[in-house]
Amino acid sequence: MTRDDIPATGEQPPSPEPIMRMIQGLQATAILKTGVELGIFDRISEGASDVSSVAAAIGASERGTRILLDGLAAYGLLEMTDGAYRLSPLADAYLVSGRPVYLGGSTQIMASDWAWRFWADLPEAVRHGGTVLEDHAETPGHEFWEIFAPASMGLARPASKALAELLAPWAQARDEIDVLDVACGSGLYSLTFAAAQPHARVTLLDWANVLALTQANVERLGLAGRTSVIEGDVFTVPLGGPYDLVVASHIFHHFSEDRCVELLQRLAAALKPNGRVAINEFTALSDRPEEDPVPYLFSVLMLAWTREGEAYPVSTYRRLLDGAGFGTPEVHQSPGMTTRFVIADRRSGA
């Protein structure tokens, strides 16, 4: 040991715990995904409480069930007293299917077979400057989006309600509203708005395999008579219109700035004069990642999963919107996540 290896008197190195949590992140994801997949949280909410009853309810070995239950308890998702397990308040709120905000479906997104694959290739994506996968986020009709549409609904429900409330004063000042929802996925953002505004009609745009799933939300909300669809690529398919409102949730982060401008210009051309675009995105207000970490971490995901995408800061959206003929946007925090609504009106004459 050299003198440089010996800490000065009274000095202690920082705890390695944050690094260990990152190293064990894969384990945490796998434990949570397994708990959701086996229905652990649902079965405990229905009354199963000890190892044998939970094991019987999920059709698993008692040994395997006991170890998994203890792992979930170690992460604060279960609580144990005298051999009986119960849901923690966190798990009860978000991991029981049927709850108003159910996040268990998100494990199908972030812990899917595709996710394991592109995270494994992250070093190559860093070297390459984008995904090295042949099948990625921009692959036409990718089956991943069939999983994403229903799995993302737990996050989309509160955000879509908040967006509908933000747009309500603007909507109530119009006699009728035609809405285009691009890359609509579940369709909840535009459909929730239309459910609150009886004079609104919605056109849903996505790949055909996704729209087949979106229809369930159209029917559930009783909007079949006020909804139509466009199948295809948002960059090439005729958009129809003109529309009063374009909803664009979680699409721009897939593309380069140049492609984002191209898309915004297409959307502007499909809008009526003084029409409005409502964007929902992971977007940072701060240029310091430690102050606003989620968008910066999401950019790493986009590095691994797209060719040129990332989570752009609000300052970039202001510049891109201006270049596409939109006015200065309003920016609002979306509930429950570090996403933000960026809402702008098309400039007159643009």
pLDDT for the residue 65: 97
Comparing 167 with 24, the larger pLDDT belongs to 167
Residue type, 245: L
Strand 200-206 versus strand 177-182 pairing type: parallel
Partners of 130 in the β-ladder: none
Helices 153-172 + 144-151 axis angle, to 10: 70
pLDDT for the residue 16: 87
pLDDT for the residue 313: 93
Q: Is the pLDDT of residue 151 over 70?
A: no
Same fold, 17-97 and 144-345: no
Yes or no: say if 277 and 103 are a contact pair by the CB < 8 Å rule: no
87 token code pair: 């849901």
Q: Considering only the top CATH level, what class is 144-345?
A: alpha beta
pLDDT (tens digit per residue) in 266-316: 999 999 998 999 999 999 888 889 988 989 999 998 998 899 999 999 999
First to last CA, the chain: 70
How many CB atoms neighbour CB 253 within 10 A? 21
**Domain 17-97, CATH number (from 3.30.70.270, 3.40.50.920, 1.10.10.10, 3.40.5.50):** 1.10.10.10
Q: How far apart are CA 320 and CA 165, in angstroms?
A: 25
Residue 336: pLDDT band by 50, 70, 90 thresholds? Answer: low
Burial of residue 166, with CB atoms counted within 10 A of its CB: 0-12 exposed, 13-18 middle, 19 or more buried: middle
pTM: 0.83
Question: What is the overall mean pLDDT for the chain?
Answer: 90
Yes or no: say if 313 and 292 are a contact pair by the CB < 8 Å rule: no
Rounded to an integer, the average pLDDT of 97-123 is 81
pLDDT for the residue 1: 47
Tell me the domain boundaries of the chain. 17-97, 144-345
Half-sphere exposure of 89 (CA within 13 A, CB side): 0
Q: How far apart are CA 51 and CA 331, in angstroms?
A: 49
Half-sphere exposure of 24 (CA within 13 A, CB side): 12
pLDDT for the residue 84: 95
